[in-house]
Chain A
Amino acid sequence: MIKKRIPFILVIALLLVPLSAFIHLTTGEIYVSLNDFFSAIFEFKGNNSSHVLIREFKIPRILIAIVAGGGLALSGMLMQTLFNNPLAGPYVLGINSGASLLVALSLMSGFSFFGSDIGIISAALIGAFLAGILMMAVAQRIRSQISLLLVGLMFGSFTSALVSILESLSGEGALKAYTLWTMGSLQQVEFDQLPLILFIFICGIFLSFILIKPLNMLVIGERSAGLLGLKISQVRFLIMGITALLAGLITAFCGPIAFVGLAVPNLTRILLRTQNHRWLILGNLFFGAVFLLLCDSIIQLFSEQIALPINAFTSIIGAPFVVFILMRKLK
């Protein structure tokens, strides 16, 4: 029964991805028919505005929503398994804060390399990885889950304070660039950047699948997994590396997007009711993509009335869900 239920849910989730992408495609201010869509893909003409709209604006936005939703959910799941804590996630544990701090430093440092796209992406990746290493070191010493989360939140506050100091010292241009970056966006990615993004994303998924067995063993706790022969430090390093790669990639191209990495893995666990990471990885990828596609569709739907940043919108939906998880845990 269980064996049939989980694949069934996953097939539905998989089917929801193209359906959500279709909804996303049709909720924009400019209507796009499927005919136009396919002709823009297979018979692209640079002087046709509809083709440019679809190829340069619609497709990158849809694909980055899938990558960001799936990637953040997957990295959140990895964090939750590593720290054995349902409230862990790249945002709560300060991975995003680390990326944000390094991006702020790069944008406001005045070095031209850091002002470039590659500079910002490198800064986000390094920041995410350093924050991950720091949190891992703290996790070695602190056993309490709540204390670890508090440390993550404190780290977030600390980086915010540093960013505020940087803001007060920086010029108007850098300040504006950073403030806009913090709002998050799924619309800044160029069609030409997609191959690189998809390549890193697929690498992240591939590495996660390689770690299925260690991830399943970590569910019973690090100590027990170690007794069963798992090389904990190596696994930790790999998990943190994958998380930093995915969260850093998404933060670099889209800015911070809150709560997806926290809410979606919990939702996936509730729906699938399994600790098998073979299913959880797939579930997080599909549900994460659907979640962000639908969030962005709602933003598109109301774009004439209100200009909503994606980061604010995911927070509005995600924050109550975290409260729900906390209350559920306290019961």
Chain B
Amino acid sequence: MNNIKFFIALNCIFLLLVVSACSQKDAQLIQVSKSKNSCKYSKWLQIYEGEKSIEIKIIHPDHPERIYSFSGIKIASKNLSQSKEYILIPCKNIAALSATQIGMLSVLDAENTICAVSDSKYVYNASVKQGLQSGAILSLGASQEISMELLISSGAKTIVHSAFSGDFPHRKELKKMGITCIPNFDWREEDPLGKAEWLLLFGYLTGKEEQAKKLFSELVISYKATMKKVKKQTKDQLISGNFIRDYWYAPAGESYNAKLFKDAGMNYIYSKTKGTGSYTVSMEKILMDTKDVKIWINPGFSSRAEIIKSNAKAKRLNCFQNGKIYCYSNDLNKFWELSAVQPHLLLADLYSISSRPSPKNLHFYKELK
């Protein structure tokens, strides 16, 4: 009988301990959640900084009810709730599966945390290229067909992926192996500063949050300084995009690119259209809409000859015959890697293009001949 009483008492004590541990943990997390979101511009990223941990929330742009939550902790513990995903920070082995992620890690001087990349032929950063050559960084193949075996053998503990087609494959199995998959929706941001703010995520992940905050606030100041230079919209009309077979795909009026054009004081002809993606225009409409356009931005090619080869009808456009064409093709890999984290330089380029007859010292852009 005494044994039974002892057993019940022991169980009660154990239960009390568990409940108290859980409530302590919850209290700690509640404390984190009550802190202020560190991200001011991003639509899909939220970071809450606590004393002992940080909470990262990533909202799925197509399903806002789906929120990916991660708790960044500095010391590993066995008493962590299984319902949450924990990231031990600073992360040492990161698989960066898009160019913008490499760019963000590189401006933080954290390339040494990269253990694997995809689409290695498009890498711009010199030290990552060197790492790929020496074998310190593994190349996982094309981003849509990543080799899982190579990924696991790279020793990655954190995978940051662009989530173009939803969750990362085998996410649950990887979690069991202690590998955390973090979706990155910077490409869905409509505000250039919101896109650049994803730098903070990489700052927290690598333990360089102070450096990330400093860099971000500097680029915001620089971006806004360029915006202040814009006194009024330029008169010259601007078009962006290009033909894809029978239709012209231009950035819609509420998109990332349209925001950049607006901030640079450019007179973008489809600035009043609705939508954050593409605005589709028929061939005949684009011909008539662009009859007074003088500047063509982002045709997606490096020369006029390539534009014509892609679609001969482009030579009928006034902006092709009598206007100037600029594209981010000064160094394509540099553009894809750094433009997201350097929107102030991107804006400076666009401002120069719109305000000067012969813009010089462009960072990403060049005039097509």
Interface residues of A (CB under 8 A from B): 28-30, 49-50, 52-53, 56-58, 180, 183, 185, 187-188, 190, 300, 303-304, 307, 309
Contact = CB atoms under 8 A, between A and B. Distances in A.
A187 B246 contact: yes
B285 interface: yes
A190 B312 contact: yes
Interface in B304-350: 311-313, 316, 318
A188 B247 CA distance: 11
Nearest to B290: A49
Interface of A is mostly: loop
Given A187-B313, A188-B312, A190-B312, A53 B288 contact: yes
A30 B284 CA distance: 7
Contacts of A28: 282, 284
Nearest to A172: B142
Nearest to B310: A177
B369 interface: no
Interface string B252-282: 0000000000000000000000000000101
Contacts, number: 52
Contact of B284 (A57, A183, A309): A57
B246 A52 contact: no
A242 B354 CA distance: 55
Contacts of A185: 245-246
B239 to A, nearest CB: 14
A180 B245 contact: yes
B283 interface: yes
B360 interface: no
B245 A58 contact: no
B316 A56 contact: yes
Contacts of B283: 57, 187
Given A30-B285, A180-B245, A49 B312 contact: no
B287 A52 contact: yes
Contacts of B126: none
A279 to B, nearest CB: 35
Contacts of A57: 283-284, 287, 313, 316
A49 B285 contact: no
Contacts of B282: 28-29, 300, 303-304
A121 B357 CA distance: 42
B76 interface: no
B291 interface: yes
A53 B283 CA distance: 9
B315 to A, nearest CB: 9
Contacts of A303: 247, 282
Contact of B285 (A29, A50, A187, A190): A29
Nearest to B244: A180
B316 A52 contact: yes
A56 B285 CA distance: 13
Contacts of A50: 288
A49 B322 CA distance: 13
Nearest to A187: B246
Interface in B174-214: none
A182 B36 CA distance: 52
Given A28-B282, A49-B291, A57-B283, 8 more contacts: A30-B284, A30-B285, A30-B288, A49-B318, A188-B311, A190-B312, A303-B247, A303-B282
A304 B312 CA distance: 23
Nearest to B306: A173
B242 to A, nearest CB: 12
A187 B280 CA distance: 16
Contacts of A304: 282
A183 B318 CA distance: 27
6 contacts: A29-B285, A57-B283, A180-B244, A187-B246, A190-B312, A300-B282
Nearest to B317: A52
Most buried by A among B284, B287, B318: B284
Contacts of A190: 312-313
B313 A56 contact: yes
Interface in B158-178: none
A307 B284 contact: no
A307 B247 contact: yes
B290 to A, nearest CB: 9
A188 B309 CA distance: 12
Contacts of A56: 313, 316
A89 B357 CA distance: 58
Contacts of B318: 49
A137 B311 CA distance: 39
Contacts of A180: 244-245
Nearest to A49: B291
Nearest to B145: A168
A53 B313 CA distance: 11
Contacts of A187: 245-246, 283, 313
Contacts of A53: 284, 287-288
Contacts of B291: 49
A307 B246 contact: yes
A307 B246 CA distance: 8
A49 B312 CA distance: 17
A50 B316 CA distance: 12
Nearest to A29: B285
Nearest to A32: B284
B310 to A, nearest CB: 8
Given A49-B318, A307-B247, A188 B288 contact: no
A53 B317 CA distance: 10
Contacts of A307: 246-247, 280
B248 to A, nearest CB: 10
Nearest to B318: A49
